[in-house]
Structure formats: C-alpha cells, structure tokens
Chain A
Amino acid sequence: MIEFENVSLNWDDRIIFRDLSFSVKPGEKVALVGESGSGKSTLLNLIPGFIPHFRGKIVVDGLILNATNVHAIRQKLAYVPQALQFTVFPTVKSLFFTPFSFVYNRKLKPDRKVVRMLFERFELSTDLLNRSVKEISGGQKQRILLAGALLLKRPVLLLDEPTSALNKEIKQAVADYILGLKDVTVIAATHDEYWMKKSDKILEIKNLHG
C-alpha cells in the first residue's frame, strides 16, 4: 500500500532520514515510534507530499509521489495531525464539517444520527459543536478530528500522536476502534504502549541527527 525506497531527507544541513526503506501492506497497522524529534511527524508529512524536497521514492497504492500524482494520493488518505491550532475556524461545527464541504467528500457528509453515534463512541458531547474552537481542550479537539477522519472512509489513515491528549480509558477505546478497522491501513506516530501492542508492526525511527 505504501512503500518507501531509499528515502533521504535533510533539513538544512541536518540529516533526518538516510536511505529509509520499508513497506506497509494493505490493512496493516503500523506504529511509528522513536524519541521526540526523531522524525515521526516528518515521516507522516512526507506521504501527502508536504515535504517535496526528499530524495528517493515514495509509492502510495501504486502511485509514485510527484506533483502529478499528489492529488490522487491525497484522495486516498485521511490525516489527523496533532490537534494544535485550527483556530481559523470560528466554531467546532465549522471545523468538524469543513472536510465534508470539499467537492470530493460531499457525498460522505454524515447525518445527525451518525455524528451522534460516533461522538458517543469517543465520549464526546454533540453540544461541543456549538462551542468556539478556542474553548475546547486538546483531547476533545483530537477526538473530533479523529471522528471526522473516520467518516471520510479512506483506505489509508495517517495519525500523528492520536491518543496523546486522551486519558487512559478513552485511549483504549479509541485504539481498539481504529486498530480494529479491517481493510484500513493505519500509520500512527505514537508513544502509547497500548497502541503499540495492538499494532501489527512497529517501525522504529532512529535519531540520525543527534
């Protein structure tokens, strides 16, 4: 589903990845682990083409990552970054529903019942939708983004520290749910022991730049 062939990346003069190669099978659940600053978020950002200056080859579902294919590749993904920011959206509702306003996702727009069910599963109240984005906690924002990503029904999920702001019980519920999705390939940067245990494969990123 996803292949990295001899991928190298520098930020300025610092080497982040050198000849990194690995592949992820369809439906596989991969936990990206490594110290803080080792390049987990950077690796996730490479896949949707956010860091085009890498060397080597990245292939997603048979498509080589380049300027021509990047849109088709992005359409196979759902991506949840760390839940900072997002304050350009006035309300939680506008944040949550924004992806469903994109032409490509319009048919996926969930009705009220589906939203309520998914929110319940993630222990969120639908009253949150009327709040301002600045007024909700990092953990709430994160679960809202996760819920939205799941509704996009993409074959590949890229998650950056998906449970970092959650307390223990919710952490497990979220991990069980997402890692239990058959046919969905999940690549998640994580420090969460439970998430690692439940994943099929652990990919450790070594700190190359000291």
Chain B
Amino acid sequence: MKGAVDIAWWMLASGYLLMFIPLAIFRYYRSGLEKATVWAVIRMTVQLLLVGLYLEYIFKWDSPLINFTWVFVMTIVASYTVIKRTGLRLRMFFVPVLLSTLASIVLIDYYFLGFVIGLKNIFTARYFIPITGMLLGNSLKNVIIALDSFFRRIDDEQITYRWELANGATRSEALLPFMRFALKKAFNPLIATTAIMGLISLPGMMTGQILGGSDPMVAVKYQIMILVVIFSSTSLNVWLTIIFSERVAFDGFDNLRREIFSGHR
C-alpha cells in the first residue's frame, strides 16, 4: 500500500483560496473577525510546518530522550494553554496542572502503547509522539471546562459551600456537589460525541490513516482504541487536575482563595 498523493506546494497555496469564503462573509457583515482569522490561519500554518520539520528529524533520530523531551515541552504548552483559558492564576495552577497532565499521559501511554499495542519501546517516535499529541489535544478542552466550572461555581455559590462547611462537612465533602457539576459539564459533550461517532462524522485520525493508505479496518480499530484512550486519559487528567489544584486553591480554613482568579488583585 502506498501513502496519500502528496500535495504539491503550489497546490497547497491554491487550497488557501477556500479561506476567501469565510473572509468574504466576515467582511460583508463587518463582523471584525477578518484580522483574527487571517492571523489564526497564519499561525496554524507556521506551527504545523515547524512541527512537520521537527517531526522529520525526530523520527530520523528516534531517541527516547529527545522524544520524551518533545512530549514534555508539549505538556508544558498544554498546561499553560489550559490555565490561560480558565482565567485562573498561572503561578498557582501551573504545577498542579502540569503534574496531572504528565501523570495521566504517562500512565495511559504506558498501558496503551506498552500493553495494548505491545511496543517493546513505548518511546518509539512514530507511536509515542502522535498518540501523546492526540491525548493532550483532546483532553485540553475538557480540562479547561472542568477546572473553570469547578472553581467558578464554588465562587458563585460561596453561600452553598459555606453552608456545607458550617454544617459539618469536611472540605472534600463540601466540594462533592461541585465536583459532580464539573464532571457533568466536562464529560456530557464527550459522552454525546462518543455515542454518535461514525454516524455523522468520521474522526480525523481515521480519515488521515485511510488517506495514508491503511486498511479501513485497521484504521477503525485504531480509532476505537484512540477514543477509549482519550476518554480515559481525559477523565484521569480532569480528576487529578482538580485534586491537585485543591491544594493550592484553599486556605487553612478551607476557604476558597480569591487570589486564584487572575482578574483579582
């Protein structure tokens, strides 16, 4: 089997013409989205080209140390992105988010690549890097939603949280309804998309693999595993993130520190 037809560079350029459709619409309605759109597409292009360049070398060298370093850097960027998007204070949440993200990908990668796929060396670039990238990319959104809804809801419903504490709850007992709320918020959409997978959308990875020349059944098997792996690593990541964050977010009296929100002085 051979891979997909390569796209010639000038053809790639012609593909960008498609962007004139959104730009024309945005322009017509004076939505003010044009500049941000152009900027986003430029960033996307540059970042992916850099990744392509990087990956060519990383695959060539295929050194566990370099691979791990690469993943570590991705984890740092992911943690940074998560916290920035939640509006929580970077200085307080960086370590908890980084640790939980690392812990969840290490554990899940180890099980999936080492056991399910059965690789001798789980750091093999061709598997380790794309799989970890998928795990990170796909859990970002859920971690953001979970963290944000957890802490914001405690802040919004401070009366409820205090009511629980002053009526005999330990901190974790008092946080239980908020944990439930955050889990529902973060996972309801993922459960819904998982349930309709394949009906109205073909997941990107499977499509890519088929274009890349794989047998559809092989692609499907990978896709199924990937979805399971994403689901479980996301849940682990969300849970650990909240657990680890609790340590920095409350004072010695179990009160939520107002300084956790970056808008707060």
Which residues of A are at the interface with B, using a C-beta cutoff of 8 A? 45, 48-50, 52, 67, 70-71, 74-75, 77-82, 84-89, 94, 98-99, 101-105, 145, 148-149, 152, 158
Q: Are B173 and A74 in contact (CB under 8 A)?
A: no
Given contacts A52-B251, A52-B252, A52-B255, whether A89 and B167 have CB atoms under 8 Å apart is no
Contact check, B169 vs A99: say whether CB atoms are below 8 A apart. yes
Q: Say yes or no: B181 contacts A88, CB within 8 Å.
A: yes
Assembly CA distance A101 to B177 (angstroms):
12
- Given the known interface contacts A88-B157, A98-B177, the answer about A152 and B168 at a Cβ–Cβ threshold of 8 Å is yes
CB distance A74 to B251 under 8 Å?
A: no
Q: Is the CB of B164 within 8 A of A48?
A: no
| Cα separation A99 to B165 with both chains bound (whole Å) | 9
Count of chain A to chain B residue pairs whose CB atoms are closer than 8 Å in the complex: 84
B5 at the binding interface (Cβ < 8 Å): no
List the 3 closest pairs (A to B, CB-CB), nearest first. A79-B166, A67-B252, A48-B166
The distance from the CB of B154 to the nearest CB of chain A, in whole angstroms, is: 9
What does the 1/0 interface line of B167-186 toward A look like (CB < 8 Å)?
A: 11110010001100100000
Closest residue to B173 on the A side, CB-wise?
Answer: A102
Which one of B153, B252, B253, B254 has the greatest number of beta carbons of chain A within 10 Å?
B253
Which B residues lie within 8 Å of A50 (CB)? 162, 165-166, 253, 255
Known: A88-B177, A88-B178, A101-B173. Is A158-B166 also a contact (CB below 8 A)? yes
Q: Does B163 contact A (CB under 8 A)?
A: yes
Q: Are B165 and A74 in contact (CB under 8 A)?
A: yes
Q: Which chain B residues border A145 with CB–CB below 8 Å?
A: 163
Enumerate chain A residues within 8 angstroms of B255, measured Cβ to Cβ.
49-50, 52
Complex contact A104–B157 (CB within 8 A): no
Chain A: CB-nearest residue to B168: A104
A102 and B162 within 8 A (CB): no
Q: A77's contact among B166, B177, B253, by CB below 8 Å, is which? A: B166
Distance in Å: Cβ of B126 to nearest Cβ of chain A: 46
* Contact residues in B for A148 (Cβ distance below 8 Å): 167
**Contact assessment for A52 and B253 in the assembled complex, using a CB-CB cutoff below 8 Å:** yes
Alpha-carbon gap, A152 to B162, bound state (A): 16
B160, B170, B173: the one contacting A86 at CB < 8 Å is: B160
A45: chain B residues at CB < 8 Å are 162
**In the complex where A67-B253, A84-B159, A88-B181 touch, is A48 in contact with B165 (Cβ < 8 A)?**
yes
B164 surroundings in chain A (CB, below 8 A):
98-99, 102
- What are 27 A-to-B residue pairs whose CB atoms are below 8 Å? A45-B162, A50-B255, A52-B253, A67-B253, A70-B252, A74-B165, A74-B166, A74-B168, A77-B166, A79-B162, A79-B167, A81-B163, A84-B159, A85-B156, A88-B153, A88-B157, A88-B177, A88-B181, A89-B160, A94-B177, A102-B168, A103-B170, A103-B173, A104-B169, A105-B168, A152-B167, A158-B166
User: Chain A residues with Cβ under 8 A from B251's Cβ?
Assistant: 52
Note all chain A residues with C-beta closer than 8 A to B160.
85-86, 88-89
Closest to A65 in B: B253
Chain B residues with CB under 8 Å of A85's CB are 156-157, 159-160
- Determine the residue in chain A with the shortest Cβ distance to B169: A102
Least CB distance from A91 to B in Å reads 12
